[in-house]
Homo-oligomer: A and B are copies of this chain.
Amino acid sequence: MKCEVVAVGTELLLGQIVDTNSSYIGEQLTMVGIDSHHQTKVGDNHDRMVAVLELALSRSDAVIVCGGLGPTQDDITREAIAHVMGVELVRDEEIVERIRRRFGSRGREMPLNNLRQADVPVGAWINPAMPGTAPGLVCPMNGVHAGKVIYAVPGVPWEMQQMMTEGIMPDLQERAGITSVIKSRTLRTWGKSESGLAEELDDEITRLDETGEATIAFLASGWEGLKVRITAKADTEAEVDAALDAEDERVREIVGDIVFGVDDDTMESVLLDALRERGMTLALAESLTGGLIGSRITATPGCSDVFRGAVVPYDREFKMKLLGAPDVPAVSEEMAIAMATGVCETLGADCGIAVTGVAGPDAHEGQEPGTVWAAISIQGQTEAVLLNLPFDRERIRQFTCIAALNLLRTRLLAR
């Protein structure tokens, strides 16, 4: 069973709106094991819409069309579908009533334009869910496309989503005779390049290609790390979960301790949990990152039981004044270690993270951009590592954050 998605709207092509509906629909289809091999954006143009729908029907068993069901003149999805079906549009008086009642309930008159929303291709029926004034359409095909179907939903995300859940997914699964379950799990990693990981997992990927037990995909996500997504398919939820667990274990055995979390875990949430379990508190001394690490830590709800606070001694003078740092070069191992130790004392924390370096674009005190010292302190034991980050200013700062957080995480786990 294949199902395509067609997103309708000139504003999508102009880049005024990002099409998130297709992604949502693709995710829903994937969950139940329906393939979506093509997703297309097309403008509010009758001939092009008809051509795109014809093509989609020739490639797939079902098509979900988002948008163009509004009341205005450029909402012509109804007309385009009727043309593809080779039928007329008839006004559905029951829908007219539902729309009129909806306006009435808001104490407003229904504008005449909205009558167009009650026009339905002959042979089509209405999606049971109708959260807005735009009815969703279920349009069974005949002729060359007999047995196939077009679902039309509004472009308004929450209206579309309700129609997907209540009207479209059940119908699609019945048509597909679907019994199998597909699920994914994402391993969050930091410390290896995409190509490096791909090389390490090369044999396993080849093995999976043969056995079909699961699939592995990579997703580089900047300072969120590199995501390794495992997807498995089976007849029951239990079998899928078992397959995911087994593959999860195999991947971890191969790539080692670079896996810091799963699915929605973030580096900061994982670190906060590790500190919480150990009853430890955290303080930060941020120079080149200027508060970026603290902003990530505090993005996590409930961090206040672990996070004591941060000092951003951007001016060198305050590295000494607030953290008791010695008079050494601002970007040096000694300074990083002094900052990490100092901030633990100043804020009375068990653990400290300190970063100092050159974010660029220019060199500083003879040091090149990307030269960063990160130090961590755990109950008085402090160490520093030199990071070499050949990127632009923002990514030097971002990668400094996740590298420093990961340094503390790994050292905590190693104890």
Residues on B with C-beta less than 8 A from A184 are: 14, 16
Contact of A347 among B11, B24, B315 (CB under 8 A): B315
A18 to B7, CA, bound (A): 13
Sorted nearest first, the 4 A-B pairs with minimum C-beta distance are A291-B291, A290-B298, A291-B294, A15-B27
Which A residues between 51 and 86 are near B, CB-CB below 8 angstroms? 52, 55, 70-74
Residues on B with C-beta less than 8 A from A362 are: 301
- Establish whether residues B301 and A291, one from each chain, have CB atoms under 8 Å apart when the complex forms: no
Residues of A within 8 A of B (CB): 10-20, 22-28, 30, 36-43, 45, 48, 52, 55, 70-74, 102, 105-108, 111-114, 156, 184, 193-196, 198-199, 202, 205, 217-220, 229, 284, 286, 288-295, 297-299, 301, 303-304, 307-315, 318, 322, 346-347, 359-362, 388-390, 393-394, 397
Residues on B with C-beta less than 8 A from A303 are: 314
A313 to B63, CA, bound (A): 50
- Distance of A390 from chain B, by nearest CB (Å): 5
- Distance of A35 from chain B, by nearest CB (Å): 8
Residues on B with C-beta less than 8 A from A313 are: 309
A304 to B315, CA, bound (A): 7
- Establish whether residues B291 and A310, one from each chain, have CB atoms under 8 Å apart when the complex forms: yes
19 CB contacts below 8 A, A to B, read A10-B217, A12-B23, A13-B26, A15-B27, A15-B30, A19-B23, A40-B40, A71-B198, A105-B390, A286-B294, A290-B291, A290-B307, A291-B292, A291-B298, A291-B310, A291-B312, A299-B394, A301-B393, A310-B312
Residues on B with C-beta less than 8 A from A301 are: 359-362, 393
Residues on B with C-beta less than 8 A from A113 are: 195, 198-199
A37 to B48, CA, bound (A): 8
